[in-house]
Amino acid sequence: MAENVKIKAQVYKDPRPAEIFDRFHERVRDHPPEWVYELVRTVTVWMGLVLWRLQGFGAENVPNGAVILAPNHASFMDHFFAGAFVRRHIQFMAKSQMFGRHLMSWVYSHGGVFPVRRGYADDEAFKTAFTVLGRGGTIGMYVEGGRSRSGKVGDDAKAGIGRLAIVSGAPVVPIAILGSSQVRNWTRLRFPKVVVRYGQPVRFEQADEPTLEQQQAAADEILRRIRVMHAELEAAGPRHAAKQAREAVIAERARGLP
């Protein structure tokens, strides 16, 4: 029987001043992802295919132009899994604790990742996200905020993704990832199958100043769609999740959905 590996407790507030993250935001606002993105993508996709028999379905649901990808979050590998089947440079918001004076900060920012200062209302992170979407880019954002500690899809959506979707007018593609919560089991020589399903894009009525209720309602709807897809994969089980995802995507096409 598979079991989840214990994860270190998360730090929910970054005590460092906001100014130290300015250079990372400036880099991402002024430059699209560079060669380091493709290098990391090549390595992680190869790992996914070989170690976790990674499979993806419905990637054609990701439209051209500005778009927000919204996967569930149970593993440090989820951003790589979400981008494995999409020929887009996905620029994720990442917790600010990942950034500092070390080599990986260079890799993150030159690869298009930018910080969101944990424990604060970080308008700089949203300014960066709006800049990326404004040039037709792809933003990756977790509806649940932090990583699920149980491997299950969270019950509560963070309003931030609703704000980003409503103000930008960009469509949101919900993504269900099954199996990633057990990825760390590789240390025990256990390699779970990972299945990624891209859902139908959803667009919300654009507004420059949406109310908190509107933001939360949009976020809740995105999470609801993720939960439905994830529940279907989970019900099918690890051995049959890929078949379920494939059949669901085929059924969508038969109904004339894009």
In this predicted structure, what is the pLDDT of residue 12? 72
CATH of residue 163's domain is 3.40.1130.10
Residue 137 lies in a domain: yes
The whole-number pLDDT of residue 2 equals 47
**Is residue 12 situated within a structural domain?**
no
Please tell me the pTM assigned to this model.
0.90
Q: What is the pLDDT along the chain (258 residues), one digit of tens a residue?
A: 445 545 455 557 888 998 999 999 999 999 999 999 999 999 999 998 998 899 999 999 999 999 999 999 888 888 999 999 998 999 998 888 889 888 999 999 999 999 998 777 789 999 999 999 999 999 999 998 777 766 788 888 999 999 999 999 999 999 999 988 877 666 566 678 899 999 999 999 999 999 999 999 999 999 999 999 999 999 998 889 999 999 999 998 888 766
Domain for residue 2, yes or no?
A: no
Enclosing domain of residue 221: 24-254
Quick check: is 1 in a domain? Answer: no
Does residue 244 lie within any of the structural domains? yes
In a domain, 250, yes or no: yes
CA angle 160, 165, 171 (to 5 degrees): 145
How much is the pLDDT for 1?
Answer: 44
Structural domain count, the chain = 1
Q: What is the pLDDT of residue 185?
A: 63
**Residue 13 belongs to a domain:** no
Query: Domain for residue 17, yes or no?
Result: no
